Amino acid sequence: MALDYALFLGCVIPTREFGLEVSAKKVLEAFDVKFHEMIGAGCCGTAGPIAAVDFLTMAAIAARNICIAEEMGMDIITFCTGCAGTLGKYNKLLKEDEHLREQVNEILKDINKEFKGKIEVKHSLDVLVNDIGLDKIKNSIKKKFNGLNVAAHIGCHAVRPSDIRKFDSPERPILFDQLIELTGAKSINFLGKNLCCGAGLIGVADDYSLALVREKLIKVKAAGADCMCTICAACHLQYEMSQLSLKTKFKEDYNIPVLHYYQLLGLSMGVKPEEIALQTVKIKADNVLAKLK
């Protein structure tokens, strides 16, 4: 039976992280997930420029997006961890808080929309683990990575705030490591593994953002990682772009390829590298491919 979802792409993925969009679609479609375009969906409302400036505007913009999926009669799936966090939060708040719902619906009246509270918002991680299941994923594996050390970075919003995300432990998540290890790779430990990558400060305070990600890269390198694996578009962008800037600005070369999880899984499901847009990865991942048996 097909799993039908309204696909919420967000901002970063369709304009910058093409590899994530291509690989997530390819891999999830193999498990009978069907994506339906959300016509007219835009930015989720995002924490920085909107939520930190005005709460009610944020709630209304999130609700507008949710309404599109409600009209389609489908739950939302998003590959973006930030969008899963914001849309998930406001979906829950608007369902529970009648006063807020009234305020928001008053605003939405002008655009002929009404939040009804009929759908759920899911991250593709939720779909992988809860709807498809680890066993089914395991059975789809055709090739295994041999001796590949992966530094996993799940990203804050996949697990926090835990009263909204309810995916895994907010402090010591393990499901993402289990997903990685299905491919035969080893998810290694490193200091500060669950700390923020600093992507939230890109453009706001670039020096602090770079200082934070540099701390992480040093520890990933020291732990002997062959590559990093992310699920979040912003984290992925941060780990790749920061390696490029650390190289040009400070002559520090970490040379750690960063793969989207769907690329790692896709390779081990026997999908060709170009079908999961492996060529879009900015730090060549030949060492990863060499360990696929």
CA gap 252, 244 in Å, rounded: 9
Q: What are phi and psi of 41, to 5 degrees?
A: -75, 145
Residue type, 259: L
Q: What are phi and psi of 159, to 5 degrees?
A: -125, -15
Of residues 155 and 257, the one with the C-beta less far from other proteins = 155
CA dihedral over 187, 191, 194, 198, signed as positive or negative:
negative
Q: What are phi and psi of 263, to 5 degrees?
A: -75, -45
Decide: is 18 part of the binding site for other proteins (CB under 8 A): yes
Helix (H, G, I), strand (E, B) or coil at 193: coil
Residue selected from 39, 98, 172, 286 as contacting other proteins according to rule CB under 8 A: 39
Residues 96-135 that bind other proteins (CB under 8 A): 100, 107-108, 110-111, 113
Residue selected from 3, 4, 36, 47 as contacting other proteins according to rule CB under 8 A: 47
Q: How many CB atoms lie within 10 A of CB 245?
A: 15
Decide: is 11 part of the binding site for other proteins (CB under 8 A): yes
Residue selected from 37, 133, 224, 290 as contacting other proteins according to rule CB under 8 A: 37
CA gap 217, 196 in Å, rounded: 12
CA gap 139, 83 in Å, rounded: 30
Q: Which stretch binds other proteins (CB under 8 A): 135-143, 177-185, 191-199, 261-269?
A: 191-199
Binding string, residues 54-93; x marks residues near other proteins by CB under 8 A: xxxx--xx--xx--x-------------------------
Residues that bind other proteins (CB under 8 A): 10-12, 14-16, 18, 21-22, 37, 39-43, 46-57, 60-61, 64-65, 68, 100, 107-108, 110-111, 113, 156-157, 160-162, 170-171, 195-196, 198-201, 203-205, 208, 211-212, 215, 277, 280
